[in-house]
Amino acid sequence: GAGVSQSPSNKVTEKGKDVELRCDPISGHTALYWYRQSLGQGLEFLIYFQGNSAPDKSGLPSDRFSAERTGGSVSTLTIQRTQQEDSAVYLCASSSPGPSGNTIYFGEGSWLTVV
């Protein structure tokens, strides 16, 4: 597609349930990122995939959070046993190989509400 595609755009779930958020990056982009934007907060880095390298998971807030990227393309962010503090917009982004000045493109996000 033309841009980074995320689904669902909105998700309401009950506390304790598991959720999966999907990201389809721009075709040809080997780098994929997940960020979280909480109300009144900045953008928090979660995890980063680059090609076939081991992902950088340094931003995942707890072991309830995990992500995978199959076939070097689509990624799924999974949150197990959701808590109310997990409510946020989850943003996916992708970029092409190259120098650090290469632009990172963001999707419109998945808005998660845990009730």
Print the binding letters for residues 69-98 with other proteins: x by CB under 8 A, - otherwise.
----------------------x-x---xx
Distances (CA, A) of 70 to 1, 29, 30, 73, 80: 18, 14, 12, 6, 19
* 111 binds other proteins per the rule CB under 8 A: no
Structure tokens at 2: 């033309």
* HSE-up of residue 94 (Cα within 13 Å, Cβ side): 23
The minimum distance between CB 59 and other proteins, in angstroms, equals 8
Which span sits near other proteins by CB under 8 A: 19-27, 29-37, 61-69, 71-79? 29-37
